Structures are given as C-alpha cells and as structure tokens.
Amino acid sequence: MAAASRPSRRRFLIGGAGAGAGAVAGSVGLALGQRAPLEAQGAIARADVASSQGAGTGHGGVTDATHGGGVSGPTFRQGSTVDHAANGFDPSALLRDFDYGTTSVLPDGRVLREWDIFASDEDIEVAPGVVFPAWTFNSRIPGPTLRCQEGDLLRVNFTNGSAHPHTMHFHGIHPAGMDGVPDVGAGVIEPGRTLTYEFDAAPFGVHLYHCHVSPLAEHIARGMYGTFIIDPLRGRPPADELIMVMHGYNTTFDADGNQLYAVNGIPFHYMHEPVRVQRNELVRIYLVNVLEYDPINSFHLHANFFDYYPTGTRLDPSEFTDTIMLGQGQRGICEVRFPHTGKFMFHAHKTEFADLGWMGFFEVAD
C-alpha cells in the first residue's frame, strides 16, 4: 500500500494511499461548524497584530478559542477537528496515561510486571479529514506508555496482529536475544505470532520502544513507537506527570521529511485543548523524540524555565533552560513550576515543525 507523489511545476500525478484496507473511512468528515469569515480575520490581523487569540477574534471564549489563521499563526481549517472516538485515542487523555501493567511478586520478592501488547494496522485520522494508514502498538499513536520500577522483572507479551512482520525493540539494558531486532534471538515476529520479551528494568530513566523491522524508517514513521519509563528505586518528588512524544507523519510516503508534525498523535491538538496544569505545582514532562526523516527536533516552553534531566538517568538536572534539542531516540525529563496563570505556548523551536503542527498551549490555573 504505497503511495507516491510526483509534483511537477503545474502538472500533477498524485497517487495517494487507499487501496483495500487503506480506503478512506466513510465516517471521516469535517467539522466545519464554527468558522469566522476570512475577511474578518484579515481585518483583525491588519488592525492589531498583538491580538493573537481569545475574545478578540470572535471565536468564542478564551479557553477553547480557535487559534491562528493569517498573522495569528498556523492552523488547520478553522473549526475542523479530528474524530478522536473513531481513532480510539485522544491526545488529551494520552498525556497522563501510564500503563503500569499487571504485577505479581516472585518467590524471591521481586516484582514481576507484565503487559499484553499487540501490533495492528489502523486507518487513523491524523489531521482533520486526512486518513493515514498507520501501523500501531495497541491501536494508538504513540503506543502505550509502559511504566515500571528499577529492578522489576518485565514480561512483554507481544502479539503481531498486523499484516506485516514487526518486533518490539526496547531502549534499555537487556540480553541480546531480547533486543527485538531481526536475526537475533526470536528475530522478526511474523503476523499472527506471539513472543514474550523478558528482561530486567534497567537503567532508571525515560526510554522508548519501537519496531525494528526493515525498512526501519517506514516501520517507525508508520507509528510503531512508545514511551518506556523506569522509575528510580527511591522515586522522584511528587508531581503532575505528563508524557510528550514528538513525532511526525510522512503522509506522502516519499521518505522526504514530514507533512505533519505532532506531539502525542494529533498536530495542533493542544492549541484548542490546552494542557491544563496548576500554578506553582511541580510539572514533570517525560519527553521523547522519535521523529523520523528529520535529523533533529526540539522543545521550547514559553515564559517559563525548566530543569532538564537528559534520558532521566541522573537525579540531578544538567541544565536550567527553556529550549532543548533532541535527535531521534533522544529523550529526557523536564521539570517546571509555572509561577503565573494563563496560556503559555510550547512548540518545536524548529519553526517549520511548529508551523506544520507541533505546537500547543499550557493553560495554568490557580
């Protein structure tokens, strides 16, 4: 199910995906209900550059105001949203969705932690009206956030329900046979087969897992990745904990950059559903970059600074900053307290990625 696009100057022969299972889901529709006329937009934009959002644009209340358009910044068709119910996941829920698995105590007193993970092929509405033939873990992008404690014995029962061969390759310390790469140990897991990956939880920190079957870039870019958190034995200070996985969608499958950039599955999602946090409360962000086809990604928080713990493997921060840069597979923990209430933007400080979907808002309340 490949697609190609060969745009020439004014002549186009575009093949999109869509044969068989990739056909556009009939249920996908555009919610175009609320939309201000462009004339009004333009008029406001010319009159007052600073009135970027809120009541001034006439889109409704401050909290759920539609942001962007013209000089106010990037946006999808205003008022259009993704059908999260049809997708089966919602980025707002993913933020704090930690999967601790099922635990039992082994005879030697260690904790045995188990998860059931499956791979599946899903048509996901990755932007309003745009259907992407994805390959997923547990039918969502990003896959489930697997969370455990340092020293646990982990068993991941992986079933390949996809039509394509896959593996689960964890970042962490484990035996070669449990590495989830072709030709080592169980190697590639064919469709319909099951394998249990078993290893110790080490080292503590924020890690990731992803499929490692060739062509590797496509298997990752199709959506097969997730966060893997190992908590230190002594724990971390209590905080409002969030997961943010930075990634993209190469909807044309040309392996040349991405058409959409996002954090936690849906581009621009947190622009109209801001991440709600409390003033002065410690907020801990488990940040992972799995962006394919682009060499770097970055994370920038407006009007606030955070302590940064690269890979989360040390308990002392390495930096106090508002911007960090990450290559693919790099990850870390950001800890921040918001001293002021209000809306604060966060986005890739690679502006192109921000303009193509990787931007959102924190909304700080008392």
Partner 1 sequence: MGVRPGHRVPTWCLGLVAVLLLGTALAALGVLGGQSLPERTGPPIEQLAVEGTVLTPGVIELTVRNTGPDPVQVAQVFVNDVYVDVVGAGEPIGGLGTATLRLAYPWQDGQPYLVSMLTSSGAVIEDEIPAAVATPRAGPGFFGLMALLGAYVGIIPVLLGMMFLPVLRRAGRGLVRVLLGVTVGLLAFLVVDGTAEGVELAESAGGAFGGATLVALGAALAFLVLTGFDRWLRDGQHADGGGSAGGFRLALMIAVGIGLHNLGEGLAIGSAYAVGELALGTALVVGFALHNTTEGVAVVAPLTDKRPSLLRLLALGLIAGAPAILGAVLGAAVNNTELSGFLLGIGVGAIVQVITQIVPVLRERAGSRLAPTTIGGLLAGVLIMYLTGLLVAA
Task: Kindly state whether residue 130 participates in binding partner 1, applying the rule CB under 8 A.
Answer: yes
Task: Kindly state whether residue 303 participates in binding partner 1, applying the rule CB under 8 A.
Answer: no
User: Among residues 69 and 312, whose Cβ is nearest to partner 1?
Assistant: 69
64, 190, 281, 352: which one binds partner 1 (CB under 8 A) = 352
3-class SS of residue 128: coil
CA 270 to mean position of chain CA atoms: 12
Residue 44, by phi and psi: left (phi above 0), alpha (psi -120 to 50) or beta?
A: alpha
Which stretches of the chain are DSSP H helices?
38-47, 84-87, 91-94, 216-221, 269-272, 351-355
Please name which of 68, 70, 7, 16 lies closest in space to residue 43, comparing C-alpha atoms: 70
**Smallest distance, Å, CB 42 to partner 1?**
4
Task: Kindly state whether residue 224 participates in binding partner 1, applying the rule CB under 8 A.
Answer: no
Task: Kindly state whether residue 175 participates in binding partner 1, applying the rule CB under 8 A.
Answer: no
**Max alpha carbon distance in the chain (Å)?**
72
How many other CB atoms are there within 10 angstroms of residue 222's CB atom? 24
Q: Which tokens sit at 299? A: 């994370």
Q: Which tokens sit at 340? A: 């002021």
Task: Kindly state whether residue 10 participates in binding partner 1, applying the rule CB under 8 A.
Answer: yes
68: Cβ–Cβ under 8 A, 6 or more apart, which residues? 53, 74, 75, 78, 268, 271
In single-letter form, the type of residue at position 46 comes to R
User: Among residues 124 and 334, whose Cβ is nearest to partner 1?
Assistant: 124
Please name which of 306, 304, 242, 312 lies closest in space to residue 270, comparing C-alpha atoms: 242
**Smallest distance, Å, CB 34 to partner 1?**
12
28, 111, 153, 184: which one binds partner 1 (CB under 8 A) = 28
Task: Kindly state whether residue 128 participates in binding partner 1, applying the rule CB under 8 A.
Answer: yes
52, 138, 251, 297: which one binds partner 1 (CB under 8 A) = 251
Q: Which tokens sit at 222? A: 């199709």
User: Among residues 52 and 80, whose Cβ is nearest to partner 1?
Assistant: 80
Stretch that binds partner 1, among 36-44, 111-119, 170-178, 211-219 (CB under 8 A): 36-44
Write the binding mask 257 to 296 for partner 1: x where contact by CB under 8 A, - elsewhere. --x-------xx----------------------------
Interface positions with partner 1 (CB under 8 A): 1-3, 5, 7, 9-19, 22, 24, 28, 30, 32, 35, 37-38, 41-42, 45-46, 68-71, 74-78, 80, 126-132, 249, 251-253, 259, 267-268, 352, 355-357
